[in-house]
Every structure is written in structure tokens, then in C-alpha cells.
Amino acid sequence: MMSEHEQFMHAALDEARQALAGGEFPVGCVMVADGRIVARARRCNSAEGQRNEIDHAEVIALRRLVAERPDLDLGTVTVYSTLEPCLMCYATMLLSGIRTFVWAYEDVMGGGANLPLYMLNTLYAQMRVHLLDRVLREESLHLFQEFFRTGTYWQDSLLARYTMAQTVQAKP
Ligand SMILES: [Zn+2]
């Protein structure tokens, strides 16, 4: 039986698949409150020519969430990302009050969720976060392997080499 975490990660993976289909880095994100998806997004503008490091899935989802649900207590939100959040997204979500993060595939190159908060300034040092990794990892890994076969973003990077060296187990 599929766990609740897996159910929401499947929704994030759907977003990642749509990003991949559009030639974008395959990262998807859904934000959940009270057992329901309250925002969803995928990576935009990772493709050559229009590339920026702002339109990450989490930032887009968060912008939608605060616009559409300004009264929602973000401390009740769980974020599901198909790739470990980067430093920008993680810090942005922390500053916004989000404390619970679930992701599928580890970002060995640019992941930010291992940030030692206790070593930072007061605001961050007092934060208590809940982290859960490797939920549907193989599904997400598979999308990144697809991407790195042809994509130009982060090609030949540590993340690309690590990703292509992983073995995806065949589905029964
Ligand atoms: Zn990010």
C-alpha cells in the first residue's frame, strides 16, 4: 500500500515529468497542508538561453502558495521535492516558516538540506526541522538519468556523473 508520503511524492514526480517533457531540469514540488496539496510547481527557465537560478520548483510553489493562501500557517506545511532542496530554496522556505521537508533524490552537489542550522545566526539556530529523504528515490533518479542523457544544464557536473553512475533497479 502506498504511504501518504509516497502519494504526495508521486504528485511531485508528475510535475518533474512535465518539466522534463519541456526540456527543463526535472524537479517537481508539491506543498501539502491538512492532507491536501495546496501548491505545486516545476522547474522553469533551466534551459539554455533563458536560464536563471531563481525559478526553482520550490520558489515558484511557495510564491503561488503565499499569493493564494495568505492566511495559511506555513508551519503546518510539508514540502515534497523530487530533488533535495538547494540552499536558496531551503533558506527561503525556512524563513517563510516551513519546517517539514521530504525529498526523493539526494543532491550530492548542491543540496542544501544538510545545512548545520545550529552553527548559523540566532534566527536559524533556533529552528527545529523535520527532514525525510529517499521517498521514491528511484523514480526521481530515473528522470535525472533521462535528463542528463541529452540535457545541457549541469552537464558534466558532479551531479551528472553521480547520477549516471547510479543503478536503477528494474521494476517488478
Ligand atoms: Zn532550489
pTM of the model: 0.95
Catalytic: which of 15, 24, 58, 84? 58
Q: What is the pLDDT of residue 170?
A: 62
Please give the mean pLDDT across all residues of the chain.
95
Residues ≥6 apart with Cβ < 8 Å to 6? 135, 136
Phi, psi of 68 (to 5 degrees): -90, -25
Is 39 a residue whose pLDDT tops 70?
Answer: yes
Is 86 a residue whose pLDDT tops 90?
Answer: yes
The answer to whether 137 and 170 are in contact (CB under 8 A) is no
Per-residue CA distances from 170 to 74, 115, 141, 144 (Å): 38, 33, 12, 16
- d(CA 146, ligand 1 centre) in Å: 20
As to burial, measured by CB atoms within 10 angstroms (0-12 exposed, 13-18 middle, 19+ buried), residue 33 is middle
Q: What is the pLDDT of residue 152?
A: 83
Tens-digit pLDDT profile for residues 112-169: 999 999 999 999 999 999 999 999 999 999 999 999 998 889 988 999 999 999 987 7
- d(CA 85, ligand 1 centre) in Å: 5
- d(CA 68, ligand 1 centre) in Å: 21
What's the one-letter identity of residue 68?
A: E
Q: What is the pLDDT of residue 61?
A: 98
Q: What is the pLDDT of residue 147?
A: 96
Q: Mean pLDDT lowest for which of 5-14, 27-36, 80-89, 159-168?
A: 159-168
Residue entry with cell 547520477: 163
Q: Is 146 a catalytic residue?
A: no
- d(CA 172, ligand 1 centre) in Å: 33
Per-residue CA distances from 33 to 70, 83, 140 (Å): 13, 20, 23
Q: What is the pLDDT of residue 47?
A: 87
Tens-digit pLDDT profile for residues 63-77: 999 999 999 999 999
CB atoms inside a 10 Å sphere around CB 143: 23
